[in-house]
Structure 1
Amino acid sequence: MVRINQVPDGLVDLDYIVPHGVNLILVPKCESAGQIDEVNKRIDELKALNNIQANIWLMPIIESALGVIKSYEIAVAADNVVALAIGLEDYTADLGVRRTLEGSESFFARTQLVNSCKAAQIQTIDSVFSDVADMEGLKQNVLKSKSLGFDGMGCIHPRQIEVIHENFAPGTAEIDKAKKIVDAFITATEQGLGVVSLGTKMIDAPVVKRAQKVIDLAVSLELINANWREEMGE
């Protein structure tokens, strides 16, 4: 993963990183699909020159009011755009406001980014938490990010990684609830039942979909086994 400078100056950076097997390129201060087109045009030229066949993915960083408004356009600009990140220090500077722990000044931007990414079916990455000594503040920020729909968060120090991983990952109670929901749905489907319930609560498709995402994430993080339903029956 390599972060280039802002386009157009960053196009020159590509000459030095594309030939060396970079997998993901961060495109900062992105404000239009046209900037993604410029980056990809130069990447394609360099891949041809260096006989590179591997995919090179892009993660634009949204750091301005215009970038937030254009976030969906950027998200669908090319097939190799796999995530959008937001940079709140530059974004709040663009608004002329101070970034706060509460984050009310960036609530619109963060939810807009999440909606754009979900609509485009790509990942959404929240801004870094700049106080590397405040682990509790980082934890609360991660939990808020997760509640808004972010898939991950940037970090500026290795000591932040564990807190981010632990709190973005589903907890035991969340996993257990998801297991019960998905298991009840599968059982009802196998029995040909048109109505699915868990205890006194009805379960509809969106609830099942959300629970399945929790299960999939837990499996990918090796928190549970892929054959978890078999284990429930033991």
Structure 2
Amino acid sequence: MNNMNRLRRTMMFLNAQKPNLLKDPFIYKPDSLIFDLEDAVALGEKDAARFVLAHALKSVDYQNCEKVVRINGIDTPFWKEDIRCAVYAGCDSIRIPKTESAEDVQAVEAEVLKTEKEAGVEEGHTLLMAAIESAKGVINLKEICTASSRLFGVALSAGDYTKDLHTVITGTGVELSGARQLMVITARATGVQCFDTVYTSLDNMEGLKAETKLIHDMGFDGKSIINPRQIPVVHEVYTPSQDDIIFAQKVVKEIDEKRAQGIGVFTVDGKMIDVAFYDGAKRTIALAKAAGVYQEVDNA
């Protein structure tokens, strides 16, 4: 997997203003870290937060974790300095909050490109993701997803979205069902990844697991999280089991063999299989390899 479609089962938010949170979050092994300069930082503390973040990004080895910076919205006076801080400090990606149009993405892209040139950073190094937080953002998902070749994915943010819909987060997910489904469909149609909103009931691990299974089955690539304790729960759902891996290996092997023999439909472990299962099986194997759990089975 390249940087555009790398493994992003978990994207963990961190308050960029708090040095104690930034020194070693990689020990919990999230796939991505989101350093938050927006909601987590008070208006009068934006400069201080950028200083703390820049020092952390330059001095801490975050190992295999992707480094994402959530900037302030483009309707604020802070976002350009946020981008300057993030790009100069060597972030991997920028998360754009409250994205409602292609123009929002392109405005950030232009500022990122300008800053990359100033900082001597390879052009195109800094990727983008868009947070969808309103009805307008959901309606404009297609144009947002295709606005920039840097954009690797879109993420649902339930807090502002439900407020915009004049509803609340219910716990059942009914208020998010339309946005979730449209987000997955649009992401798949446009070739980008999609990520679910955070789960805020920190002590309800069964609820987190149930919600994660739901969005996994819907087709989401991963989930935003707010606490290290949530990581193993989400990873368990999103990481193929050994049975999944073995079955995927069998499917790939059988399809390759049967295709050469001119056979289109056959069975694997009692299940009817045809070529339509091939890409899914290959994805399972690729995900297992990216997650570090893949083992070749000789007799698959």
Tell whether the 8 Å contact from 2:133 to 2:160 is kept in structure 1 after alignment. Answer: yes
Matched residue type, 1:196: V
Q: 1:34 aligns to what?
A: 103
Is 1:13 the equivalent of 2:82?
yes
Secondary structure at 1:154's aligned position in 2?
strand
Shift of 1:163: 0.9
Is 1:193 the equivalent of 2:262?
yes
Shift of 1:189: 2.3
Name the stretch that deviates more: 56-65 or 46-55: 46-55
Gaps of 5+ in 1: none
Gaps of 5+ in 2: 1-67
TM-score by length of 1: 0.92
Q: 1:4 aligns to what?
A: 71
Name the stretch that deviates more: 42-51 or 75-84: 42-51
Q: How many residues align?
A: 229
Tell whether the 8 Å contact from 1:61 to 1:84 is kept in structure 2 after alignment. Answer: yes
- Could you give the per-residue CA deviations for residues 126-174 of structure 1, whole angstroms, max 9, x where no partner exists? 1110111111111111100100000100100111111111111122333
Q: 1:168 aligns to what?
A: 238
Cα distance in 2, alignment partners of residues 206 and 103 from structure 1? 31
The counterpart of 1:180, out of the listed 244, 250, 275, is 250
The counterpart of 1:93, out of the listed 149, 158, 163, is 163
Cα distance in 2, alignment partners of residues 208 and 58 from structure 1? 30
Shift of 1:201: 4.6
Is 1:128 the equivalent of 2:198?
yes
Cα distance in 2, alignment partners of residues 219 and 18 from structure 1? 30
Secondary structure at 1:85's aligned position in 2?
strand
Cα distance in 2, alignment partners of residues 216 and 52 from structure 1? 30
Cα distance in 2, alignment partners of residues 132 and 28 from structure 1? 23
Tell whether the 8 Å contact from 2:93 to 2:126 is kept in structure 1 after alignment. Answer: yes
Matched residue type, 2:119: N
CA RMSD of aligned residues (A): 1.6
- Could you give the per-residue CA deviations for residues 105-124 of structure 1, whole angstroms, max 9, x where no partner exists? 11110011111111111111
Shift of 1:26: 0.6
Looking at secondary structure, tell me which structure has more strand per residue. Answer: 2
Q: How does 1:1-234 map to 2 (within 5 A)?
A: 1-9=68-76, 10-53=79-122, 55-190=125-260, 192-198=261-267, 201-225=271-295, 228=296, 231-232=298-299
Q: Percent identical across equivalent pairs?
A: 32
Looking at secondary structure, tell me which structure has more helix per residue. Answer: 1
Matched residue type, 1:44: L
Matched residue type, 1:143: K
Tell whether the 8 Å contact from 2:71 to 2:97 is kept in structure 1 after alignment. Answer: yes
Tell whether the 8 Å contact from 2:255 to 2:275 is kept in structure 1 after alignment. Answer: no
Tell whether the 8 Å contact from 2:138 to 2:183 is kept in structure 1 after alignment. Answer: yes
